[in-house]
Amino acid sequence: MGSVVSEERCLYAAKCGACHIGEMSYEQELAEKNKWVISHIGKYCHQIHDIIGMYYPYHYRNKVHAVLGKVKDTVVAGTYAEGTHTIIPVNSCLIEDVQASAIIQTVAELIQSFKLWVYNEDTGRGLMRHILVRKGTATKQIMVVLVTASTEFPHKNHFVEVLRTRHPEITTIVQNINTKQTSMVLGDKNKILYGQGYIEDVLLGLRFRISSNSFYQVNSAQTQVLYKKVIQAAALTGDETVIDAYCGIGTIGMCMHAKARRVIGIELNEQAVKDARENAKQNHLKKIQFVAADATEYMTQMSQNGMRADVIIMDPPRSGSTEAFVKATVSLRPRCVVYVSCNPETLGRDLEWFCREGYIAEEAWIVDMFSFTQHVETCVLLSQQRGDDYIKVSLEPGCNTR
């Protein structure tokens, strides 16, 4: 368990609500998260290891977002007060990357000096909506995404030039067009204004390309801790067919590639799949392929075609998986499933489905990737019960009692 106490003070804590810094020490927070995960998966899991905290729990977020608005006549960047469209200006943040916060402040200043029209969520009028900054922690590459309500961008070349002069550390600038009246930050269309339109980061020795819309873990240091646990849990021998379901830009599957016979990554977001394929090429990985598909549909199809998988890694969004996905997984008869989850509640529900299908949750590791927030990551090793050991379990009171 980590030993850092949250002694830093946040100026915006009372109003912002994005994190709960200052409410308790980091040690207490880790203990609370540990208890929280156990309360949801304890009855299914044989062994749950103590939470692995962060060594330095500040300024870890490599992706920083700010909404644009006006306070009196001044353009400000910040966050909405919960449940409202009232903007709270935030000039610095204890969990966000420091360079990213500084760039956001400069963009707000430039929008003011270039007299660009700030978007108003209530009326749906105006141009400049959000700023997103992504940084490759290892490479130091920085992407700035300027989200606009239409394709226009008056004085854009000059704007880009001034922004680059003020922040030479920026490696690419993208305009993202979001025409919808929605709380989603990004639209589907991107225009590259400077650089390559993506950044790269390095995880466990592999280089990954990240586009504006692709999912990428926000805490690179702890992601590597988590992925090492996934690799440990899967215990590959070099002879396995591995499926990386909900694979994003392919990071987990690629980190397992060296020890697998073959890896198949399945992901719904086509841009992420494009990035994943490019990532495999850049890293000269020949035994991995990616498919743009719904994971459940693709795996069901695989099993109908008589295919099998030895190990299935799954890392679904917060809403968790589905019973149909669990059935599709089981139909491929994997020796083990490694479930990576960012939500202990849906994880508990999904473990119950796996237990009903004859899998047992052997071991779990909890990794804190999001200090001072209510989020935590868990990795669970599920193994197929065999022979005498196989009991079609009844779920009350705990499905794992052998």
The residues assigned a catalytic role are: 342
State in angstroms the smallest separation of the CB of 307 from ligand SAH.
18
**Which of residues 70 and 375 has its CB atom nearest to ligand SAH in the complex?**
375
State in angstroms the smallest separation of the CB of 171 from ligand SAH.
21
Tell me the residue nearest to ligand SAH as measured from the CB.
248
State in angstroms the smallest separation of the CB of 94 from ligand SAH.
24
Other CB atoms within 10 Å distance of the CB of residue 84:
9
Q: How far is CA 254 from CA 5, 240, 380, in A?
A: 35, 14, 19
**Which of residues 126 and 136 has its CB atom nearest to ligand SAH in the complex?**
136
Strand ranges for 98-234 from DSSP E: 128-135, 142-148, 172-177, 189-194, 198-203, 206-211
Q: How far is CA 382 from CA 50, 230, 261, 368, in A?
A: 18, 12, 21, 21
Q: What are phi and psi of 376, to 5 degrees?
A: -155, 155
**Which of residues 204 and 268 has its CB atom nearest to ligand SAH in the complex?**
268
Closest CA to 95 of 147, 50, 29, 51: 29
Nearest 10 degrees: Cα torsion 87, 93, 95, 97: 110
Which stretch of DSSP H or E encloses residue 360? strand 359-367
State in angstroms the smallest separation of the CB of 183 from ligand SAH.
18
**Which of residues 336 and 342 has its CB atom nearest to ligand SAH in the complex?**
342
Using CB under 6 A as the criterion, which residues of the chain lie in contact with ligand SAH when the complex forms? 215-217, 246-248, 251-252, 266-269, 272, 294-295, 315-317
Would you tell me the crossing angle of helices 156-166 and 98-113 to the nearest 10 degrees? 140
Residue whose pair of structure tokens reads 């590959």 in the numeric block: 236
**Which of residues 145 and 230 has its CB atom nearest to ligand SAH in the complex?**
230
State in angstroms the smallest separation of the CB of 374 from ligand SAH.
18
State in angstroms the smallest separation of the CB of 349 from ligand SAH.
16
State in angstroms the smallest separation of the CB of 251 from ligand SAH.
5
* Angstrom distance (rounded) from CA 112 to CA 159: 11
State in angstroms the smallest separation of the CB of 324 from ligand SAH.
10
Closest CA to 290 of 303, 273, 307: 273
- Strand 336-341 versus strand 311-314 pairing type: parallel
In angstroms, how far is CA 319 from the centroid of its own chain?
13
Q: What are phi and psi of 337, to 5 degrees?
A: -120, 130
Q: Which two tokens stand for residue 258?
A: 């060296």
Residue-wise DSSP of 40-107: HHTTTEEEEPPPB--SS-SS-BSEEEEEEEEETTEEEEEEEPTTSS-EEE-S--SSB-HHHHHHHHHH
Residue-wise DSSP of 214-278: S---S-HHHHHHHHHHHHHHH---S--EEEEES-TTTHHHHHHGGG-SEEEEEES-HHHHHHHHH
**Which of residues 201 and 357 has its CB atom nearest to ligand SAH in the complex?**
201
**Which of residues 160 and 242 has its CB atom nearest to ligand SAH in the complex?**
242
**Which of residues 136 and 316 has its CB atom nearest to ligand SAH in the complex?**
316
